[in-house]
Amino acid sequence: MALLATAAAFSGTGSATLNGDELATLSAARRSLAGMWELALNIDGHFLPYYLFMHVWTMAGTAELWLRLPSALAIGVAAWLLADLGRRLHSVRAGVFAAAVFAVLPSVSYFGAFARSYAFAAAAAVLSFWALHRALERPAAARRWVLYGVAVALVCSTHLFAVLVLPAQLALARRGAVTRMLGALALGGVPAVVLGLIGFGERHAISWIPQRGPEVWLKFPKMAAGTNAFGVLLFAVAVAGAVHLYARRQERAWALALAGWLVLPPLLLLAVSHLVTPVYVDRYLFVTAPALALLAGLAVAAVPRFSVAAGVAVVVLGCALSFPDHVDVREENGRFENIPWALRVIRAERDDAIVYGQSQLRTGFDYYADSLMPVDVLRSGDEPSPSGFGYPERADVAAALDGRERVWVVWRGSKQSGLEGDAVPRVAEVERAGFGLSLAKHSAELPGLTVALFTRQRPADNP
């Protein structure tokens, strides 16, 4: 099951191009330790443990496959632990079905081929529940509680909002083990306190997140599974799995814990959004996907006499219903920011200039460019800002474009955002420098990328 899940995730690593978040990982990982610390003091501080890992990992290379391989391996670890947790809670069949369902989820293919920490967070969440089950089996075994505490610390270190799975584990607190359990939770939760304080101080970095309401629940099955029809079906099967587990008196606490693992993170994230600052982003909740698969595995394993057929049917039906979504995440534009497409649109002539609507786009263009590029006339330094992912630029756009006849402008977002509004100030600055629009193309999905060509306007062109 671990190999199956790893293969499913890894099969998408070389098709979809790196997006802005993954290029931010690359930008951070390339810095010195001092540089990463300075970055963490200004932005993405809660990603520092992952950036430190990727700093070491990228010493061996920065190819797309290599950058995404750790996430695929983390998916394999999650599937392995999920299979054994299902065995512990019910049967070998339950574990196998849970891992198989997990492996065929489009969300697993997406985040398993994504150079960010979300797959690590999912694996750490499964590890924490698995380690807790072992500790509760033998509550007097101190080493098992140490492992559980380490697992909790990993949950807290992989992604700040992965900690939202931990309150569900309180349903498993019982006499004779509650002191050790709470002690392990407290010690393991120290990284969450530190990273949470850092994140609160950097909340300006997520000011782009809109406020969400209860309507997000309508999209929750699709968010967890990565597909709509199969996500709804799987959510219904998962509810049946929770009900079945609750009907077994000795497993009622686990039924509540697994149900909490699935539904508490979105509830708590929405509460934080309304009480503190908007933070509700779908990808922060990938940690619920293993719970969805595990409860579904428990449900099909409980079908009398036909559990194998039921499990195979769910997996096959899932593959069929989610096939279009698997194709989408494996397309070149599967991460919605297709820089190779933009490079193909740009047909540079001698002395053409290029201006970036967002300076951090340079990381991607530098990464993918393998032929003649227009002159980056605004660039004033080769290294990104120590406090962020943007680059230092000249402010005098008109002077930088003096003597140029054509300038390519690239920005993240739709055509309208740059041409009709003020969301991309560089466009207006290029126009004020005496250039007019000649061509504009946008990649397939929003927000996507827009590539526009502006040419020098003569008096006869603009009477």
Which phi-psi region, left, alpha or beta, contains residue 32 (left: φ > 0; alpha: ψ -120 to 50)? Answer: beta
Q: What pLDDT, on a 0 to 100 scale, did the predictor assign at position 204?
A: 80
- On whether both 450 and 371 belong to a single domain, the answer is yes
- On whether both 76 and 118 belong to a single domain, the answer is yes
Which letter does DSSP use for residue 17 in this model? Answer: P
In a domain, 118, yes or no: yes
Q: Which residues contact 57 (CB under 8 A, 6 or more apart)?
A: 29, 66, 67, 70
- On whether both 432 and 313 belong to a single domain, the answer is no
Q: What pLDDT, on a 0 to 100 scale, did the predictor assign at position 460?
A: 59
Q: Is the distance from CB of 226 to CB of 329 less than 8 angstroms?
A: yes
Residue reference for tokens 């390339």 = 30
Taking the C-alpha atoms of residue 455 and residue 426, their distance in angstroms, rounded to an integer, is 15
Q: What pLDDT, on a 0 to 100 scale, did the predictor assign at position 461?
A: 58
- On whether both 352 and 315 belong to a single domain, the answer is no
Q: What pLDDT, on a 0 to 100 scale, did the predictor assign at position 96?
A: 96
Structure tokens belonging to residue 148? 């559980």
E strand or H helix at 324, and its extent?
A: helix 307-329
Residues of the chain with pLDDT under 70: 459-463
- On whether both 274 and 363 belong to a single domain, the answer is no
Say if residue 340 is preceded by a cis peptide, omega within 30 of 0.
no
**H helix intervals, 41-141:** 48-57, 64-89, 92-103, 106-111, 118-137
- On whether both 139 and 260 belong to a single domain, the answer is yes
User: Residue 207: how many CB atoms within 10 A of its CB?
Assistant: 8
Distance set, CA 197 to CA 41, 46, 135, 202 (Å): 11, 9, 30, 9
In a domain, 313, yes or no: yes
Q: What angle do CA 449, 392, 385 make, to 5 degrees?
A: 90
| Residues paired with 58 in a beta bridge | none
Taking the C-alpha atoms of residue 267 and residue 273, their distance in angstroms, rounded to an integer, is 10
- On whether both 280 and 379 belong to a single domain, the answer is no
The per-residue pLDDT for range 115-151, each reduced to its tens digit, is: 999 999 999 999 999 999 999 999 999 999 999 999 9
Cα dihedral 263, 269, 274, 275 in deg (nearest 10): 110
Return the amino acid letter for 460: A
Q: What pLDDT, on a 0 to 100 scale, did the predictor assign at position 361?
A: 96
- On whether both 237 and 146 belong to a single domain, the answer is yes
The per-residue pLDDT for range 314-351, each reduced to its tens digit, is: 999 999 999 999 999 999 988 888 999 999 999 888 89
Q: What pLDDT, on a 0 to 100 scale, did the predictor assign at position 370?
A: 83
Read off φ and ψ for residue 356, nearest 5 degrees: -100, 130
Taking the C-alpha atoms of residue 111 and residue 119, their distance in angstroms, rounded to an integer, is 6
- On whether both 215 and 276 belong to a single domain, the answer is yes
* Overall residue count recorded for the chain in this entry: 463
In a domain, 462, yes or no: no
E strand or H helix at 298, and its extent?
A: helix 289-301
User: Residue 33: how many CB atoms within 10 A of its CB?
Assistant: 9
Q: Which residues contact 342 (CB under 8 A, 6 or more apart)?
A: 365, 410, 443, 449, 451
Domain finish residue from 306, 329, 352: 329
- Segments forming the whole domain that contains residue 379: 339-456
Structure tokens belonging to residue 193? 């306190």
The per-residue pLDDT for range 277-319, each reduced to its tens digit, is: 999 999 999 999 999 999 999 999 998 888 899 899 999 999 9
DSSP string, 357-409: SSTTHHHHHHHH--S---EETTB--SS--TTSS---B-S-HHHHTTT-SEEEE
In a domain, 404, yes or no: yes
Domain finish residue from 272, 298, 329: 329
- On whether both 411 and 291 belong to a single domain, the answer is no
In a domain, 461, yes or no: no
- On whether both 372 and 298 belong to a single domain, the answer is no
Taking the C-alpha atoms of residue 359 and residue 391, their distance in angstroms, rounded to an integer, is 6
pTM of the complete model: 0.94
**165: exposed, middle or buried (Cβ count in 10 Å: 0-12, 13-18, 19+):** buried
Domain finish residue from 266, 299, 329: 329
In a domain, 334, yes or no: no
User: What's the N-to-C CA distance of the chain in angstroms?
Assistant: 69
| Residues paired with 379 in a beta bridge | 393
- On whether both 138 and 179 belong to a single domain, the answer is yes
DSSP string, 347-361: ---TT-EEEESSTTH
Number of domains in the chain: 2
Q: What pLDDT, on a 0 to 100 scale, did the predictor assign at position 350?
A: 86
In a domain, 389, yes or no: yes
Q: What pLDDT, on a 0 to 100 scale, did the predictor assign at position 207?
A: 81
- Of 226, 227, 251, nearest in space to 241 by CA: 251
In a domain, 379, yes or no: yes
Q: What pLDDT, on a 0 to 100 scale, did the predictor assign at position 462?
A: 56
User: Residue 277: how many CB atoms within 10 A of its CB?
Assistant: 15
Which letter does DSSP use for residue 266 in this model? Answer: H
Looking at every residue in the chain, the average pLDDT score rounds to 93
